[in-house]
Amino acid sequence: MSDELDNKAVEVLKRNERGGYTVPTARLYPYQWNWDSAFIALGYGSIDRARAWAELESLLEGQWDDGMVPSILFRHDDPDYFPGPAIWQTHTMKQPSPRMPTTGISQPPVFASVMHELVESGNSSDLERAERLLAPVLRWHEWFQRDRSMNGVVSTVHPWETGRDNCPDWEIGLDAVEIDDALEPYQRKDTEHADARQRPRKDQYDKFITLVKFAREREWNQRRFTDESPFLMADPGIHFILLRANRDLLRLAVMVGDTAAADRLEELIDLGEKATEHLWNNELHAFTARDMRTGRFSNGISNASFLCFYADAGSEDQRRHTLEHFARIAQLVKSHVPSWDPEADGFDSQRYWCGPVWPQMNYLISRGLCEQGYHNYAQTVRDDLCQLIEQSGFRECFDPLSGNGCLGTDFSWTAAIWLAWASPNKQELAA
Ligand code: DGY
């Protein structure tokens, strides 16, 4: 079974290859996505190291002069996707001069941690490839701290930037966004390619597009976007992934003897550690999303709440509470880890980030739990994903109650996570 799935996973990656980069899945997501490419590189790490590095390098071709690495690279115009380059219009702006049409927001920066993983499992040629990418990746991390932070806390201006698009985490932030009256009528494509009941609602899409228009009218000046956006929230996903990525980039900087980069990364880590407290929701006893304008916390626990272990963050007490939630939620689902607490408002087992299990999140959560010594929990998260893929194939995400696959099929990051980690042929948990 697992040998057959290993072969199928390789086929999925190859089928989604588009000449130097890989799409998440045909039709629904026909471009290059940021954190998808990083996970795809991780998957390629098990079968073709050169291809793994090429995937990472290709993503940096879209980096902006200010250091930002965008969420999507529009290398061509595909009428099958909305909103494409004509809506974002970043390449028509004078600043900050992206090299190709892209979105104007970023995505969770797992990139440096994937580089580190490839180096750890590789040889000196992997370290040489990583050394070449160190400076641009550091510029990206600095961009988060410089242009996407409020009072030192890295924040987000758009649910799409978090990668967890319609998670109920964002409802309190979206409440403050008035749908722009002058929004041009538009036609969604996602609901033509996938079950509309599993995708974000229409009112959410109107607000997503309103936020794009808002930034476009500010000529994609990122500091202004952050300062003035009606939506500004801190995201435990971006926060913990960035903190971990800074730690991993520091390890790489030390390996190659780049002391200037190492010093700067120590500063970024220090800022990240200080900001962690801002995300602690004392009512729910968990790290949750928080509105940066009002100070309000979101009303539920998401799978991103469990990334504190991955970031090696939080006090003993905070980790204990988080583990209690982890164990409680495990009793409510067939497959761990749902993207939203089944006991919180807004849970929907099949709707995108309102409930489904996400392969890449299980990987990050399990790694963190394992590293912190919670081996049984880490194993559950891995076994559950393995069973989901065996039951339903390489789907985009999975219903945590039934195990059925949701949304995209032949999905690249699911195949990649299988190859790198979830397949029973990968015996040991990375520690
Ligand atoms: C989509 O199109 O749903 C993407 O998640 C946006 O990045």
Backbone angles phi, psi at 243, to 5 degrees: -60, -45
Site to probe by mutation for ligand 1, drawn from 160, 199, 201 as the one with most ligand atoms within 8 Å of Cβ, is 160
Q: Which two tokens stand for residue 385?
A: 């994903």
Instruction: Give the model's pLDDT for residue 429.
Output: 39
CA–CA distance from 253 to each of 110, 120, 259, 266 (Å)?
16, 13, 7, 11
Does ligand 1 lie within 6 Å of residue 160's CB atom?
Answer: yes
Which are the contacts of 45, defined by CB distance < 8 A and separation ≥ 6?
52, 114, 117, 118, 121, 122, 420
Instruction: Give the model's pLDDT for residue 394.
Output: 98
- Residue with the smallest CA separation from ligand 1 atom 7 is 160
Distance 251 CA to ligand 1 centre (A): 32
> Does residue 108 come out as left (phi exceeding 0), alpha (psi in the -120 to 50 range) or beta?
beta
Instruction: Give the model's pLDDT for residue 134.
Output: 98
Does ligand 1 lie within 6 Å of residue 145's CB atom?
Answer: no
- 383 as an active site residue: the answer is no
Site to probe by mutation for ligand 1, drawn from 27, 29, 238 as the one with most ligand atoms within 8 Å of Cβ, is 29
SS (H, E, C) the chain: CHHHHHHHHHHHHHHCECCCCECCECCCECCEEHHHHHHHHHHHCCCCHHHHHHHHHHHHCCCCCCCCCCCEECCCCCCCCCCCHHHHCHHHCCCCCCCCCECCCCCCCCHHHHHHHHHHCCCHHHHHHHHHHHHHHHHHHHHHHHHCEECCEECECCHHHHCCCCCHHHHHHHCCCCCCCCCCCCCCCHHHHCCHHHCCCHHHHHHHHHHHHHHHCCCCCHHHHHHHCCCCEECHHHHHHHHHHHHHHHHHHHHHCCHHHHHHHHHHHHHHHHHHHHHEECCCCEECCEECCCCCECCCCEHHHHHHCCCCCCCHHHHHHHHHHHHHHHCCCCCCCECECCCCCCCCCCCHHHCCECHHHHHHHHHHHHHCCCHHHHHHHHHHHHHHHHHHCCCCEECCCCCCEECCCCCHHHHHHHHHHHCCCCCCCCC
Residue of 165, 312, 371, 390 marked active site: 165
Distance 160 CA to ligand 1 centre (A): 6
Query: Could you say which residues of the chain have pLDDT below 50?
Result: 428-431
Chain center to CA of 404: 22
Cα separation of the two ends of the chain: 26
Return the ligand 1 atom nearest residue 352 CA: 3
Residue of 126, 396, 399, 410 marked active site: 396
Of the candidates 324, 321, 310, 330, the residue with the CA atom closest to the CA atom of residue 401: 330
- 343 as an active site residue: the answer is no
Does ligand 1 lie within 6 Å of residue 352's CB atom?
Answer: no
Instruction: Give the model's pLDDT for residue 93.
Output: 75
Instruction: Give the model's pLDDT for residue 92.
Output: 79
Pairing of strands 233-234, 290-291: antiparallel
Instruction: Give the model's pLDDT for residue 378.
Output: 98
